Amino acid sequence: MKKLSPTPLASALHEFFGEYLPQLRGMSPHTLHSYRDGLKLLLRFVSTKGRQDPARLDFDDIGVQDVLSFLQHLEIDRHNVAATRNVRLAGIHSFFRFLAGRHPERLEQCQQILSIPFKRAQTRAVEYLEFAEIEAVLAAIDRSKPDGRRDYALLVTMFNTGTRAQEVISVRPCDLQLQKPQHVRLFGKGRKERLIPLWPETAALHGMLLVERKVEPTSREPLFRNHRGEPLTRFGVRYLLSKYCARAKVGSPTLAKKRLHPHSMRHYAEFQTMPSKVSANGQRP
């Protein structure tokens, strides 16, 4: 089989993700993943539309009309909201802005794509959890199983610190201070670093999780992992919250009326009050 030579588009994408974003721009892994996912969807859409092998795509295959059709596809076929559409467009803009500087012969094409405007997105109020609702969610977790004990520690950490989903899945054992003063080191948007106090019960949960999983406190690998040993994802955190909220609705009907999101926990954390049913022993509270 004849070996394919990289197209100019393939080479540009390799430089964009391999050097430009992480090294020259210093973008966070979260931004890299977001841009990668958006451009992956665009390439898949263009290749399917033109019935082409994705490995053979080049600059001429992605014009302004192709990008406009792709954005329409996101909203109509994939049912993405305007905010998600705008995130995908931001990644496309970033790539073609980079491309304009590397391939000036493509400047007109880049300018046309960069002229595509963002769509005004209607913001919705983020729901928050009441004290009793948090207790119901925690009580819905079966801590007799290892995954349940992990989930309990994960959600208690989010309630305690008000961390974003991306921040909590990035926590490593070396980021934890489990002796007084107990705290966790978090890395947020723009790689901003901050220290957040931990409740003694939260610190105890982390200590038991490290012992159970035989993880050294100095480890620099992500603490929260799935049953395959892979780091949890943001989507995994959202799934876990939805699962336990669904279980908790039986005893807390008010949860059924709320559209919850991992960000909901940040609103509760402003009060920094420990739910009475948080416990650090191995039994279900």
From the options 1.10.357.10, 1.10.3720.10, 2.40.50.660, 1.10.443.10, give the CATH code of 131-269: 1.10.443.10
The one-digit pLDDT tens for each residue of the chain (285 residues) are 456 678 999 999 999 999 999 999 988 887 898 999 999 999 999 999 888 888 899 999 999 999 999 999 999 999 998 989 999 999 999 999 999 999 999 999 999 999 999 998 776 655 667 778 888 888 999 999 999 999 999 999 988 888 888 888 999 999 999 999 999 998 876 667 889 999 999 999 999 999 999 999 999 999 999 888 899 988 888 889 889 888 888 878 877 776 665 555 554 544 445 555 566 654 444
- DSSP secondary structure string, 80-145? --HHHHHHHHHHHHHHHHHHHHH-GGGHHHHHHHHTPPPPP----PPP---HHHHHHHHHTS-TTS
Structure-token match 């990035």, residue found? 170
Cut 0.95: pTM above it? no
From the options 1.10.150, 1.20.1740, 3.10.20, 3.30.70, give the CATH code of 8-114: 1.10.150
CB atoms within 10 A of CB 184: 25
Residue 196: phi and psi, rounded to 5, are -120, 130
CATH 1.10.443.10 occupies which residues in the chain? 131-269
Q: Which two tokens stand for residue 235?
A: 């989507």
- CA 184 to CA 168: how far, in whole Å? 10
> What are the residues whose beta carbons fall under 8 Å from the beta carbon of 169, sequence distance 6 or more?
222, 224, 231, 232, 233, 234, 236, 237
Q: What is residue 190's DSSP assignment?
A: G
- CA 205 to CA 279: how far, in whole Å? 8
Enumerate the active-site residues.
164, 189, 263, 266
> What are the residues whose beta carbons fall under 8 Å from the beta carbon of 50, sequence distance 6 or more?
61
CATH 1.10.150 occupies which residues in the chain? 8-114
